[in-house]
C-alpha cells in the first residue's frame, strides 16, 4: 500500500535564502524610489538666497551660486558643487547651504578677511591670514608689505612674506588697524604704527604674547614719545629711542635676552637722550 503524499517542506537554508532575496529586492526598490524622488523636478530648487558676500564681486558670486543651486533639489543639495562654482573667486573662504522651504535654499558665504596689502612696484594685492591672495578684491587702510615680486599662484609660499602675514593675522583688530607697514630687518620683523613707534617682533613666534606686550607698553604713559618698542622677549618689553628721529629706529639698541644675544649700542643721536624706561613688567 502506497504512503499518502505530502507537500515538500523547504529546508531552513532555503528559507533564509528566500528571506534574504526578498530583503534585497525591497532595498533595491526603496533605493531606486529614493533616487528618483530626490531628483524629481517637483522638488527642484527655484528660490535661492545668498548672504555673506560683499564687495565688487558680490553679484558674480550670487549668480554663480544661484545657477549651481538651481541644478539641485531640496532633497539633493550638493555643497561640493557650490564650492566648485565659487572657485574663481579667491575672496570666498567657504560656503554652506540649508533648505529654507520645499523649493528654497539659503546659501551662506564666508569670506576671507584681508590682513595686509602685498606691494610689488605698482602692483598691489590684498592677502588673507592664511596667505590666500585676494586678487580682484578692493580694500583700503591695510598694512603694507613690500616685496620684490608677487607670487604667480593663489597663495603666498613659505618665506619672509608669509611670516609677516602670520604676524599681522595674530594682531588684535584694533592694533592691526594702526599698522602702516611691516618689513623684515636684520633684527627680524618690524611693524610701523601710524603716528607711533616701530614695534620690533623679531620672529612671528609667540605672536599673540608679543602683541599683548606691545599693547601694554603703548597704554603706559611713560612710553610716550618712544621711537621703538621691542617685544622680542614679551615678558620684558622695552621702549626706547626717545630723542631719536622716527626714521632712525631701524637700528635700536638690542636689549639682552631678546630673541638672542645683546646687540650693538644705541644708534647715533640717542646717546645723550634721556635714558629709556626700564622694561615694562
- DSSP per residue over 125-145, as a string? EEEETTSBB-TT----S--EE
3 pLDDT tier (thresholds 50, 70, 90): low
- In tens, the pLDDT along 26-47 reads 665 556 555 555 666 778 899 9
Q: Which three cell numbers stand for residue 123?
A: 602692483
pTM: 0.65
What Rg do the C-alpha atoms of the chain give, in angstroms?
32
Number of neighbouring beta carbons within 10 Å of residue 43: 16
234 pLDDT tier (thresholds 50, 70, 90): very high
Parallel, antiparallel or unpaired: strands 123-128 and 114-120:
antiparallel
Percentage of the chain beyond pLDDT 70 is 72
Nearest alpha-carbon partner for 258 in 191, 196, 180, 205: 205
pLDDT of residue 157: 80
CATH 3.40.50 placement within the chain: 172-281
CA distance 232 to 214: 10
For residues 177 and 215, is the Cβ–Cβ distance under 8 A? no
CATH 3.10.20.310 placement within the chain: 41-111
For residues 186 and 243, is the Cβ–Cβ distance under 8 A? no
- Rounded mean pLDDT of 119-139? 87
Q: Which three cell numbers stand for residue 30?
A: 526603496
Q: Report CA-CA distances (Å) from 248 to 46, 106, 186, 227.
A: 63, 55, 14, 8
The answer to whether residue 254 scores a pLDDT higher than 50 is: no
CA distance 185 to 164: 12
pLDDT of residue 214: 94
CA distance 167 to 172: 11
pLDDT of residue 184: 86
- Rounded mean pLDDT of 138-166? 84
Q: 41-111 maps to which CATH number?
A: 3.10.20.310
Question: First vs last Cα of the chain: how many Å apart?
Answer: 115
Domain 172-281 belongs to what architecture?
3-Layer(aba) Sandwich (3.40)
For residues 101 and 112, is the Cβ–Cβ distance under 8 A? no
pLDDT of residue 224: 82
- Summary mean pLDDT of the chain: 79
pLDDT of residue 193: 92
Mean pLDDT lowest among 36-45, 238-247, 250-259: 250-259
Helix (H), strand (E) at residue 169: helix 160-169
Amino acid at each position: 500500500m502506497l504512503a499518502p503524499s505530502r507537500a515538500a517542506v523547504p529546508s531552513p537554508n532555503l528559507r533564509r535564502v528566500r528571506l534574504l532575496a526578498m530583503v534585497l529586492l525591497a532595498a533595491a526598490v526603496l533605493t531606486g524610489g529614493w533616487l528618483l524622488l530626490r531628483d524629481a523636478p517637483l522638488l527642484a530648487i527655484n528660490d535661492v538666497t545668498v548672504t555673506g558676500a560683499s564687495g565688487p564681486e558680490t553679484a558674480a558670486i550670487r549668480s554663480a551660486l544661484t545657477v549651481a543651486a538651481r541644478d539641485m533639489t531640496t532633497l539633493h543639495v550638493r555643497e561640493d558643487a557650490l564650492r566648485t562654482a565659487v572657485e574663481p573667486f579667491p575672496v570666498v573662504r567657504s560656503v554652506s547651504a540649508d533648505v529654507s522651504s520645499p523649493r528654497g535654499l539659503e546659501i551662506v558665504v564666508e569670506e576671507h578677511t584681508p590682513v595686509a596689502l602685498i606691494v610689488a612696484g605698482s602692483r598691489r594685492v590684498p592677502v588673507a591670514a592664511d596667505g590666500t591672495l585676494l586678487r580682484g578684491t578692493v580694500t583700503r587702510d591695510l598694512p603694507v608689505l613690500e616685496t620684490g615680486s608677487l607670487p604667480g599662484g593663489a597663495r603666498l609660499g613659505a618665506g619672509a612674506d608669509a611670516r609677516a602675514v602670520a604676524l599681522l593675522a595674530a594682531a588684535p583688530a584694533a592694533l592691526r588697524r594702526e599698522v602702516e607697514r611691516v618689513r623684515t630687518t636684520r633684527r627680524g620683523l618690524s611693524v610701523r604704527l601710524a603716528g607711533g613707534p616701530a614695534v620690533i617682533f623679531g620672529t612671528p613666534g609667540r605672536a599673540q604674547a608679543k602683541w599683548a606686550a606691545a599693547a601694554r607698553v603703548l597704554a603706559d604713559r611713560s612710553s610716550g614719545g618712544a621711537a621703538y618698542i621691542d617685544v622680542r622677549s614679551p615678558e620684558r618689553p622695552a621702549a626706547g629711542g626717545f630723542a631719536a628721529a622716527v626714521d632712525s629706529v631701524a637700528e635700536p639698541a638690542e636689549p639682552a635676552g631678546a630673541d638672542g644675544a645683546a646687540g650693538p649700542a644705541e644708534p647715533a643721536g640717542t646717546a645723550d637722550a634721556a635714558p629709556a624706561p626700564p622694561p615694562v613688567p
